[in-house]
Structure 1
Protein backbone atom coordinates (compact mmCIF):
# COMPACT_ATOMS: atom_id res chain seq x y z
CA UNK A 1 0.00 0.00 0.00
CA UNK A 2 2.78 2.43 0.93
CA UNK A 3 4.70 1.65 -2.26
CA UNK A 4 1.58 2.39 -4.33
CA UNK A 5 1.32 5.77 -2.64
CA UNK A 6 5.05 6.44 -3.18
CA UNK A 7 4.77 5.52 -6.87
CA UNK A 8 1.64 7.62 -7.37
CA UNK A 9 3.16 10.67 -5.67
CA UNK A 10 6.44 10.24 -7.54
CA UNK A 11 4.60 10.01 -10.86
CA UNK A 12 2.46 13.06 -10.10
CA UNK A 13 5.31 15.02 -8.51
CA UNK A 14 6.36 17.13 -11.54
CA UNK A 15 2.79 18.18 -12.24
CA UNK A 16 2.08 18.99 -8.59
CA UNK A 17 5.21 21.15 -8.46
CA UNK A 18 4.44 22.83 -11.79
CA UNK A 19 0.87 23.73 -10.91
CA UNK A 20 1.86 24.86 -7.42
CA UNK A 21 4.78 27.12 -8.34
CA UNK A 22 3.60 30.69 -8.65
CA UNK A 23 0.79 29.97 -6.20
CA UNK A 24 2.74 28.48 -3.31
CA UNK A 25 6.21 29.43 -2.13
CA UNK A 26 8.82 26.73 -2.80
CA UNK A 27 9.55 26.38 0.93
CA UNK A 28 5.99 25.12 1.42
CA UNK A 29 6.32 22.72 -1.49
CA UNK A 30 9.27 21.26 0.40
CA UNK A 31 6.61 19.48 2.45
CA UNK A 32 5.85 17.35 -0.61
CA UNK A 33 9.48 16.21 -0.69
CA UNK A 34 9.34 15.57 3.04
CA UNK A 35 6.28 13.38 2.54
CA UNK A 36 7.93 11.50 -0.34
CA UNK A 37 11.13 11.06 1.65
CA UNK A 38 9.23 9.86 4.69
CA UNK A 39 7.12 7.43 2.70
CA UNK A 40 10.19 6.03 0.95
CA UNK A 41 11.90 5.62 4.32
CA UNK A 42 8.90 3.76 5.75
CA UNK A 43 8.16 1.69 2.65
CA UNK A 44 11.71 0.37 2.34
CA UNK A 45 10.73 -2.98 0.90
CA UNK A 46 13.30 -5.41 -0.47
CA UNK A 47 15.67 -2.58 -1.32
CA UNK A 48 15.71 -0.93 2.12
CA UNK A 49 19.18 0.57 1.74
CA UNK A 50 18.41 2.14 -1.65
CA UNK A 51 15.03 3.42 -0.46
CA UNK A 52 16.68 5.02 2.55
CA UNK A 53 19.30 6.75 0.36
CA UNK A 54 16.56 8.19 -1.85
CA UNK A 55 14.67 9.24 1.26
CA UNK A 56 17.72 10.98 2.73
CA UNK A 57 18.47 12.73 -0.56
CA UNK A 58 14.83 13.84 -0.86
CA UNK A 59 15.02 15.20 2.68
CA UNK A 60 18.21 17.10 1.77
CA UNK A 61 16.46 18.58 -1.27
CA UNK A 62 13.50 19.50 0.94
CA UNK A 63 15.78 21.20 3.45
CA UNK A 64 17.52 23.11 0.65
CA UNK A 65 14.18 24.20 -0.75
CA UNK A 66 12.94 25.35 2.65
CA UNK A 67 16.15 27.23 3.51
CA UNK A 68 16.63 28.88 0.11
CA UNK A 69 12.93 29.21 -0.77
CA UNK A 70 14.01 28.23 -4.30
CA UNK A 71 12.38 25.91 -6.80
CA UNK A 72 15.60 24.36 -8.16
CA UNK A 73 15.98 21.74 -5.41
CA UNK A 74 12.36 20.72 -6.04
CA UNK A 75 13.10 20.26 -9.73
CA UNK A 76 16.16 18.12 -9.03
CA UNK A 77 14.10 15.25 -7.56
CA UNK A 78 13.47 13.41 -10.88
CA UNK A 79 17.21 13.53 -11.66
CA UNK A 80 17.89 12.15 -8.18
CA UNK A 81 15.49 9.24 -8.70
CA UNK A 82 17.20 8.38 -12.02
CA UNK A 83 20.63 8.54 -10.39
CA UNK A 84 19.59 6.16 -7.62
CA UNK A 85 17.99 3.75 -10.11
CA UNK A 86 21.19 3.84 -12.18
CA UNK A 87 23.22 2.95 -9.10
CA UNK A 88 20.83 0.14 -8.10
CA UNK A 89 20.70 -1.37 -11.60
CA UNK A 90 24.44 -0.85 -12.14
CA UNK A 91 25.41 -2.46 -8.85
CA UNK A 92 23.20 -5.42 -9.69
CA UNK A 93 25.32 -5.96 -12.81
CA UNK A 94 28.46 -6.03 -10.68
CA UNK A 95 27.21 -7.94 -7.66
CA UNK A 96 24.48 -10.03 -9.31
CA UNK A 97 21.92 -11.19 -9.81
CA UNK A 98 20.95 -8.30 -12.07
CA UNK A 99 17.56 -6.62 -11.70
CA UNK A 100 16.06 -8.10 -14.88
CA UNK A 101 17.19 -11.58 -13.82
CA UNK A 102 15.53 -11.15 -10.42
CA UNK A 103 12.28 -10.16 -12.11
CA UNK A 104 12.54 -12.99 -14.65
CA UNK A 105 13.06 -15.56 -11.90
CA UNK A 106 9.75 -14.55 -10.35
CA UNK A 107 8.06 -16.15 -13.38
CA UNK A 108 10.62 -18.84 -14.19
CA UNK A 109 13.07 -19.80 -11.42
CA UNK A 110 15.22 -21.80 -13.88
CA UNK A 111 16.90 -19.65 -16.53
CA UNK A 112 19.29 -20.99 -19.16
CA UNK A 113 22.49 -19.23 -20.25
CA UNK A 114 20.75 -17.48 -23.13
CA UNK A 115 18.10 -16.08 -20.78
CA UNK A 116 20.74 -14.97 -18.30
CA UNK A 117 22.65 -13.14 -21.05
CA UNK A 118 19.40 -11.51 -22.16
CA UNK A 119 18.53 -10.31 -18.65
CA UNK A 120 22.02 -8.85 -18.33
CA UNK A 121 21.54 -6.97 -21.61
CA UNK A 122 18.13 -5.70 -20.50
CA UNK A 123 19.63 -4.39 -17.25
CA UNK A 124 22.39 -2.66 -19.24
CA UNK A 125 19.80 -1.02 -21.50
CA UNK A 126 17.96 0.27 -18.43
CA UNK A 127 21.22 1.67 -17.09
CA UNK A 128 21.68 3.54 -20.37
CA UNK A 129 18.11 4.78 -20.12
CA UNK A 130 18.67 6.09 -16.59
CA UNK A 131 21.79 7.95 -17.75
CA UNK A 132 19.90 9.56 -20.64
CA UNK A 133 16.69 10.24 -18.73
CA UNK A 134 18.53 11.49 -15.65
CA UNK A 135 20.66 13.80 -17.81
CA UNK A 136 17.57 15.23 -19.46
CA UNK A 137 15.84 15.61 -16.10
CA UNK A 138 18.89 17.48 -14.80
CA UNK A 139 19.15 19.64 -17.92
CA UNK A 140 15.48 20.61 -17.75
CA UNK A 141 15.84 21.44 -14.05
CA UNK A 142 18.88 23.63 -14.64
CA UNK A 143 18.20 25.33 -17.96
CA UNK A 144 14.61 24.84 -19.15
CA UNK A 145 11.46 26.71 -18.27
CA UNK A 146 9.18 25.24 -15.64
CA UNK A 147 6.74 24.29 -18.41
CA UNK A 148 9.40 22.31 -20.28
CA UNK A 149 10.60 20.73 -17.03
CA UNK A 150 7.06 19.63 -16.12
CA UNK A 151 6.33 18.39 -19.66
CA UNK A 152 9.47 16.29 -19.81
CA UNK A 153 9.47 14.95 -16.25
CA UNK A 154 5.69 14.67 -15.91
CA UNK A 155 4.84 13.19 -19.31
CA UNK A 156 7.61 12.55 -21.83
CA UNK A 157 9.80 10.57 -19.41
CA UNK A 158 6.87 8.27 -18.58
CA UNK A 159 6.08 7.77 -22.27
CA UNK A 160 9.73 6.83 -22.85
CA UNK A 161 9.61 4.38 -19.94
CA UNK A 162 6.46 2.83 -21.39
CA UNK A 163 8.01 2.57 -24.85
CA UNK A 164 11.12 0.89 -23.45
CA UNK A 165 9.05 -1.54 -21.38
CA UNK A 166 6.70 -2.29 -24.28
CA UNK A 167 9.56 -2.69 -26.74
CA UNK A 168 11.39 -5.06 -24.43
CA UNK A 169 8.20 -7.09 -23.89
CA UNK A 170 7.70 -7.41 -27.68
CA UNK A 171 11.36 -8.36 -28.21
CA UNK A 172 11.18 -10.95 -25.43
CA UNK A 173 8.08 -12.54 -26.96
CA UNK A 174 9.70 -12.64 -30.40
CA UNK A 175 12.87 -14.20 -29.01
CA UNK A 176 10.91 -16.82 -27.05
CA UNK A 177 8.98 -17.76 -30.19
CA UNK A 178 12.22 -17.98 -32.19
CA UNK A 179 13.91 -20.15 -29.57
CA UNK A 180 10.82 -22.38 -29.34
CA UNK A 181 10.91 -22.88 -33.14
CA UNK A 182 14.63 -23.67 -32.99
CA UNK A 183 14.07 -26.20 -30.19
CA UNK A 184 11.24 -27.85 -32.12
CA UNK A 185 13.31 -28.16 -35.29
Structure 2
Protein backbone atom coordinates (compact mmCIF):
# COMPACT_ATOMS: atom_id res chain seq x y z
CA UNK A 1 0.00 0.00 0.00
CA UNK A 2 2.87 2.37 0.82
CA UNK A 3 4.45 1.94 -2.61
CA UNK A 4 1.07 2.37 -4.27
CA UNK A 5 0.37 5.66 -2.49
CA UNK A 6 3.90 6.89 -3.20
CA UNK A 7 3.39 6.07 -6.87
CA UNK A 8 -0.02 7.77 -6.77
CA UNK A 9 1.55 10.97 -5.38
CA UNK A 10 4.15 10.92 -8.15
CA UNK A 11 1.50 10.39 -10.83
CA UNK A 12 -0.63 13.18 -9.39
CA UNK A 13 2.44 15.42 -9.28
CA UNK A 14 3.24 14.70 -12.91
CA UNK A 15 -0.33 15.06 -14.14
CA UNK A 16 -1.39 17.92 -11.88
CA UNK A 17 -0.39 20.86 -14.15
CA UNK A 18 -2.21 19.30 -17.10
CA UNK A 19 -5.27 18.44 -15.02
CA UNK A 20 -5.36 22.06 -13.81
CA UNK A 21 -4.89 23.40 -17.34
CA UNK A 22 -7.62 21.26 -18.90
CA UNK A 23 -9.92 20.90 -15.89
CA UNK A 24 -9.77 24.24 -14.09
CA UNK A 25 -12.95 25.45 -15.79
CA UNK A 26 -14.71 22.09 -15.54
CA UNK A 27 -13.87 20.83 -12.03
CA UNK A 28 -14.53 22.81 -8.87
CA UNK A 29 -11.53 23.54 -6.60
CA UNK A 30 -13.11 21.62 -3.69
CA UNK A 31 -12.98 18.46 -5.83
CA UNK A 32 -9.26 19.03 -6.44
CA UNK A 33 -8.86 19.60 -2.70
CA UNK A 34 -10.66 16.36 -1.82
CA UNK A 35 -8.56 14.30 -4.23
CA UNK A 36 -5.26 15.81 -3.10
CA UNK A 37 -6.26 15.65 0.57
CA UNK A 38 -7.29 12.02 0.24
CA UNK A 39 -3.96 11.06 -1.29
CA UNK A 40 -2.06 12.89 1.48
CA UNK A 41 -4.20 11.22 4.15
CA UNK A 42 -3.58 7.78 2.66
CA UNK A 43 0.18 8.48 2.57
CA UNK A 44 0.25 10.09 6.04
CA UNK A 45 0.76 6.97 8.22
CA UNK A 46 4.06 6.23 6.47
CA UNK A 47 5.13 9.81 5.87
CA UNK A 48 4.79 10.93 9.49
CA UNK A 49 7.36 8.30 10.51
CA UNK A 50 9.99 10.02 8.37
CA UNK A 51 11.92 13.06 9.66
CA UNK A 52 9.81 16.15 9.07
CA UNK A 53 7.04 14.08 7.52
CA UNK A 54 4.36 15.17 9.95
CA UNK A 55 4.69 18.85 9.05
CA UNK A 56 4.63 17.98 5.33
CA UNK A 57 1.31 16.25 5.90
CA UNK A 58 -0.05 19.09 8.05
CA UNK A 59 0.96 21.82 5.58
CA UNK A 60 -0.37 19.87 2.60
CA UNK A 61 -3.68 19.16 4.32
CA UNK A 62 -3.94 22.81 5.37
CA UNK A 63 -3.43 23.80 1.72
CA UNK A 64 -6.16 21.34 0.69
CA UNK A 65 -8.51 22.73 3.36
CA UNK A 66 -7.91 26.33 2.24
CA UNK A 67 -8.41 25.31 -1.39
CA UNK A 68 -11.56 23.39 -0.55
CA UNK A 69 -13.20 26.02 1.65
CA UNK A 70 -12.20 29.05 -0.42
CA UNK A 71 -13.16 27.57 -3.78
CA UNK A 72 -10.51 29.80 -5.38
CA UNK A 73 -9.25 28.15 -8.56
CA UNK A 74 -6.22 30.49 -8.57
CA UNK A 75 -4.92 28.58 -5.54
CA UNK A 76 -4.53 25.46 -7.68
CA UNK A 77 -1.48 26.99 -9.34
CA UNK A 78 0.32 27.27 -5.97
CA UNK A 79 0.52 23.49 -5.40
CA UNK A 80 3.84 22.95 -7.28
CA UNK A 81 5.38 25.86 -5.37
CA UNK A 82 4.17 24.35 -2.09
CA UNK A 83 5.68 20.96 -2.95
CA UNK A 84 9.00 22.57 -3.89
CA UNK A 85 9.05 24.50 -0.63
CA UNK A 86 8.28 21.35 1.36
CA UNK A 87 11.09 19.46 -0.36
CA UNK A 88 13.41 22.45 0.04
CA UNK A 89 12.67 22.39 3.76
CA UNK A 90 13.30 18.65 4.04
CA UNK A 91 16.60 18.77 2.15
CA UNK A 92 17.72 22.04 3.74
CA UNK A 93 16.92 21.03 7.31
CA UNK A 94 18.77 17.74 6.77
CA UNK A 95 21.90 19.79 6.04
CA UNK A 96 21.49 21.63 9.34
CA UNK A 97 20.41 18.75 11.58
CA UNK A 98 22.02 15.90 9.61
CA UNK A 99 22.61 13.53 8.21
CA UNK A 100 21.96 15.01 4.75
CA UNK A 101 18.90 13.54 3.05
CA UNK A 102 20.91 12.11 0.15
CA UNK A 103 23.11 10.29 2.67
CA UNK A 104 20.00 8.79 4.30
CA UNK A 105 18.75 7.64 0.92
CA UNK A 106 22.18 6.21 0.02
CA UNK A 107 22.38 4.30 3.33
CA UNK A 108 19.14 2.49 2.54
CA UNK A 109 20.89 0.79 -0.37
CA UNK A 110 24.38 0.77 1.13
CA UNK A 111 24.33 0.85 4.97
CA UNK A 112 28.15 0.84 5.21
CA UNK A 113 28.68 3.95 3.11
CA UNK A 114 32.39 4.61 2.55
CA UNK A 115 33.71 7.68 4.43
CA UNK A 116 34.65 9.47 1.18
CA UNK A 117 30.98 9.29 0.11
CA UNK A 118 29.77 11.45 3.02
CA UNK A 119 31.00 14.81 1.64
CA UNK A 120 29.65 13.79 -1.77
CA UNK A 121 26.16 13.13 -0.37
CA UNK A 122 26.27 16.51 1.38
CA UNK A 123 27.18 18.22 -1.91
CA UNK A 124 24.39 16.43 -3.79
CA UNK A 125 21.92 17.48 -1.07
CA UNK A 126 23.12 21.08 -1.54
CA UNK A 127 22.53 20.79 -5.29
CA UNK A 128 18.94 19.64 -4.62
CA UNK A 129 18.45 22.56 -2.22
CA UNK A 130 19.56 24.91 -5.00
CA UNK A 131 17.20 23.23 -7.44
CA UNK A 132 14.23 23.52 -5.08
CA UNK A 133 14.95 27.22 -4.49
CA UNK A 134 15.06 27.78 -8.25
CA UNK A 135 11.97 25.67 -8.87
CA UNK A 136 9.90 27.32 -6.14
CA UNK A 137 10.88 30.75 -7.49
CA UNK A 138 10.04 29.81 -11.09
CA UNK A 139 6.74 28.20 -10.16
CA UNK A 140 5.73 31.12 -7.93
CA UNK A 141 6.76 33.64 -10.57
CA UNK A 142 4.72 31.89 -13.23
CA UNK A 143 1.79 31.60 -10.83
CA UNK A 144 1.89 35.34 -10.13
CA UNK A 145 2.81 36.76 -13.52
CA UNK A 146 2.70 34.08 -16.22
CA UNK A 147 -0.19 32.84 -18.27
CA UNK A 148 -1.62 29.44 -17.39
CA UNK A 149 -0.08 27.91 -20.53
CA UNK A 150 3.47 28.91 -19.47
CA UNK A 151 2.83 27.68 -15.93
CA UNK A 152 1.64 24.34 -17.35
CA UNK A 153 4.60 23.94 -19.69
CA UNK A 154 7.10 24.70 -16.93
CA UNK A 155 5.47 22.65 -14.14
CA UNK A 156 4.26 19.85 -16.42
CA UNK A 157 7.25 19.42 -18.73
CA UNK A 158 10.33 21.56 -18.17
CA UNK A 159 10.72 20.89 -14.46
CA UNK A 160 10.63 17.14 -15.08
CA UNK A 161 13.30 17.50 -17.77
CA UNK A 162 15.45 19.43 -15.28
CA UNK A 163 14.90 16.79 -12.58
CA UNK A 164 15.74 14.02 -15.05
CA UNK A 165 18.92 15.84 -16.08
CA UNK A 166 19.94 16.22 -12.43
CA UNK A 167 19.25 12.54 -11.71
CA UNK A 168 21.18 11.31 -14.76
CA UNK A 169 24.04 13.72 -14.08
CA UNK A 170 24.26 12.61 -10.46
CA UNK A 171 24.16 8.93 -11.47
CA UNK A 172 27.02 9.44 -13.95
CA UNK A 173 29.03 11.41 -11.37
CA UNK A 174 28.45 8.69 -8.76
CA UNK A 175 29.69 5.99 -11.15
CA UNK A 176 32.79 8.07 -11.85
CA UNK A 177 33.40 8.56 -8.12
CA UNK A 178 33.01 4.82 -7.47
CA UNK A 179 35.58 3.96 -10.15
CA UNK A 180 37.98 6.52 -8.71
CA UNK A 181 37.67 5.23 -5.15
CA UNK A 182 37.37 1.52 -5.98
The alignment's C-alpha RMSD in Å is 2.0
Shift of 1:110: 2.2
Larger Rg: 1
CA contact (8 A) 1:37 1:54 kept: no
Residue 4 of structure 2 corresponds to residue 4 of structure 1: no
Matches within 5 A, 1:24-173: 24-44=27-47, 46-47=49-50, 49-50=52-53, 52-173=54-175
1:14–1:55 CA distance, 2 compared to 1 (3 A)? farther
Shift of 1:46: 4.2
Give the gaps of 5 or more residues in structure 1.
181-185
Give the gaps of 5 or more residues in structure 2.
none
Other-structure match for 1:183:
none
CA contact (8 A) 2:100 2:125 kept: yes
CA contact (8 A) 1:36 1:55 kept: no
Shift of 1:61: 2.5
User: TM-score normalised to the size of structure 2?
Assistant: 0.87
Per-residue CA deviation, residues 46-89 of structure 1 (Å, 9 max, x unaligned), is 42742x32333233333333343322221111111111111111
Mapped to 2, the partners of 1:147 and 1:40 lie a distance apart of 30
Shift of 1:133: 0.7
Q: How many residues align?
A: 179
- Picking from 14, 18, 26, the partner of 1:15 is 18
Mapped to 1, the partners of 2:46 and 2:107 lie a distance apart of 23
User: TM-score normalised to the size of structure 1?
Assistant: 0.86
Mapped to 2, the partners of 1:62 and 1:101 lie a distance apart of 31
